[in-house]
Structure 1
Amino acid sequence: MGKAPYPLIDEILPLQVPKVRHKLITSLLELNLTLSENEHRGFMRILIMGGTRFIGVYLTKILVEQGHDVVLYNRGNRPVPTNGVRQIIGDRTDPFQLQEKLASEKFDAIFDNNGRELTDTQPLVDIFQDRLQHFIYMSSAGVYLKSDEMPHTEGDAVDPKSRHKGKFDTEAYLSTKNIHYTSIRPTYIYGPQNYNDLEAWFFDRIVRNRPIPIPGNGMHITQLGHVKDLAMAMSRVLGNSHAIGQVYNVSGDRFVTFDGLARACAIAAGKSPDEIKIVHYDPKKFDFGKRKAFPMRVQHFFASVTKAMSELGWQPEYDLVSGLKDAFENDFMSSGRDKKEIDFSTDEEILKAVG
């Protein structure tokens, strides 16, 4: 039997105790491998723009758990999501504040989670472009031009009239700068702390046994991704050379019809999908002004996440029902929304018209 890779073990444990020696050596080798991987990956000092509302809450917790030093930049309206996180108070829309409060700081990576227009992100890039390992930008799959060929892939044409045009303008700008950037394009994001009425819109009607008005025939196909899965994919970008200069669609890996989503929400809320009543209507026959009668685009809207899964080594943790159940139990019900007064005026107009 050969010498151990750790000579002291030969002195402490005689060769006649092979099982104990083998177990100890294996443990030491695994420890060294872990330390080596961590050293190679490198723990980073990371700036998150935002970080206390939705996506940033999950991302902050994940990055801290991974051992990174995380700093948040926001208006300070909400507490930091976890211990050990520094918060710099400021308004990102004021370039002078950005310069004053961030220019002297050193970061390895930046997550720009809440830049909507190029004017939001450009001042940040001006400060850090020559001294940053990675800049990760939160874009949107909403930039894609409607297409007969689905799902959307990262190379698809973008819509110059999209309300998310500012996102694509920012992506185009980043591609021209001397900066290692990656862009993330989610579809619909859901989960606890979602401030957009998406899954909650369905739950509002399901828990009150109200009909669910769905535009069209209910067969439009869409896609949702749990916020924790999104945050995990974002964290997988760090230290990944394949991700430099790339765009990634990130969402759930399955698609669902509008009617199917309503039924999935019913299951998540502890009801049989047969218990809910779905009412279809033609949205072109109604004028609701600025009121929103339905929380999603009335079109097919879904994207392939194959590239993210392959290049980032990422896999969604939540399927649709388990993710919706998480949102229902740990946000909708825990916040008492089931007892709040909800405006169903658009529903009433639809139901009255369709009989």
Structure 2
Amino acid sequence: MAESLKTPYHSQRIFAGKIDHYIYMSSAGVYLESPLLPHIEGDPCDPKSRHIGKLKTEDYLDTRGLPWTAIRPTYIYGPLNYNPIEEWFFARIVENRPILIPGDGSHMTGLGHVADLANAFAAVLGNTRAIGKVYNIQDRKAITYNGIAKMCAVAAGYDPNNIRIIHYDPKRLNLGKAKAFPFRLQHFFTSVNQALRELDWDIDYDLLDGLRDSYRNDFLPKKQSGQINADFKTDDMILSQIS
């Protein structure tokens, strides 16, 4: 029997000796910010990360003697994703609104399609080599925030040269606790070489194909059924302060 759970703190009592493999959904957000990238498994982790609970869970599983593997994705995107980060861009592109990006848009990040993430989970099952290890999961390449905006435009059938990208310094604005941008303002991407090498896993979606899949099979159906409730109030706050 194989189990994949999010909260394993009672796992020793409930599952000890009863499972073949425990797969844990962790996060690449546990890594300590570094000027040396990409992050690889074994890099230092941030004890102040908001994902510290995931790191503690990995440590817990390791100390309890369970046959476990942890998956550390960067940013997940694609149809039915619980945090549709690409929707933030699509919603503004289709409404011909500016794309407001903090900084100069050159920060690079990694994204991974939900189907590739699911396939990674499946590839771990039955793989004894994966016991006691963590695996980064994302696309092969990183992309800048400016690049994401333009690639989302292409995926949605728009000319990327016609979208308006406006950069701003968030430190000079008064936005309160409003979340103005769906990504962290830092370089954040990982290497997936260990997963490609040790698992029977490959990446089926490059970023453009994955964004097209998300636009056609998630954003458009949601928009047509009235489920896209984009709120541009924070955008308007930023525009009013930088104009």
Structure 2 length normalisation: TM-score?
A: 0.96
Cα distance, 1:346 vs structure 2: 1.2
The question of whether the paired residues in 2 share the 8 Å contact of 1:221 and 1:302 is answered with yes
The question of whether the paired residues in 2 share the 8 Å contact of 1:186 and 1:250 is answered with yes
> 2: CA distance between counterparts of 1:338 and 1:277?
27
Kindly provide the amino acid, as one letter, of the partner of residue 345 in structure 1: K
Give the aligned partner of residue 351 of structure 1: 239
The question of whether the paired residues in 2 share the 8 Å contact of 1:255 and 1:302 is answered with yes
- Write the deviation string for residues 135-160 of structure 1: whole angstroms up to 9, x where unpaired: 00000000000001000001101100
Matches within 5 A, 1:6-21: none
Give the aligned partner of residue 111 of structure 1: 4
Cα distance, 1:121 vs structure 2: 1.3
Kindly provide the amino acid, as one letter, of the partner of residue 157 in structure 1: P
Q: Which of residues 168, 171, 181 is equivalent to 1:281? A: 168
Give the aligned partner of residue 41 of structure 1: none
Cα distance, 1:272 vs structure 2: 1.3
Change (3 A) 1:287 1:129: farther
**Is 2:89 the partner of 1:202?**
yes
The question of whether the paired residues in 1 share the 8 Å contact of 2:76 and 2:113 is answered with yes
Change (3 A) 1:241 1:331: same
Gaps of 5+ in 1: 1-107
SS class of match (2:9): helix
Gaps of 5+ in 2: none
Larger radius of gyration: 1
The question of whether the paired residues in 2 share the 8 Å contact of 1:140 and 1:184 is answered with yes
Cα distance, 1:216 vs structure 2: 0.2
> 1: CA distance between counterparts of 2:128 and 2:172?
51
SS class of match (1:261): helix
Query: Of the two structures, which has the highest relative contact order with CA contacts closer than 8 Å and spacing of 6 or more?
Result: 2
> 1: CA distance between counterparts of 2:197 and 2:229?
45
SS class of match (1:342): coil
Cα distance, 1:195 vs structure 2: 2.6
Give the aligned partner of residue 7 of structure 1: none
Change (3 A) 1:154 1:341: closer
Runs of 4+ in 1 over 6 A off after TM superposition: none
Give the aligned partner of residue 149 of structure 2: 262
Give the aligned partner of residue 164 of structure 1: 51
Higher mean alpha-carbon deviation, 295-304 vs 328-337, is at 328-337
The question of whether the paired residues in 2 share the 8 Å contact of 1:207 and 1:338 is answered with no
Structure 1 length normalisation: TM-score?
A: 0.66
**Is 2:71 the partner of 1:184?**
yes
Cα distance, 1:132 vs structure 2: 1.1
Give the count of matched residue pairs.
Answer: 242
- Write the deviation string for residues 283-328 of structure 1: whole angstroms up to 9, x where unpaired: 1112323321000101000000000010003111000011011111
**Aligned-residue CA RMSD (Å):** 1.3
The question of whether the paired residues in 1 share the 8 Å contact of 2:173 and 2:241 is answered with no
Kindly provide the amino acid, as one letter, of the partner of residue 151 in structure 1: P
Kindly provide the amino acid, as one letter, of the partner of residue 3 in structure 2: I
Q: Which of residues 6, 25, 28 is equivalent to 1:141? A: 28
Give the aligned partner of residue 100 of structure 2: 213
> 2: CA distance between counterparts of 1:180 and 1:121?
13
Give the aligned partner of residue 51 of structure 1: none
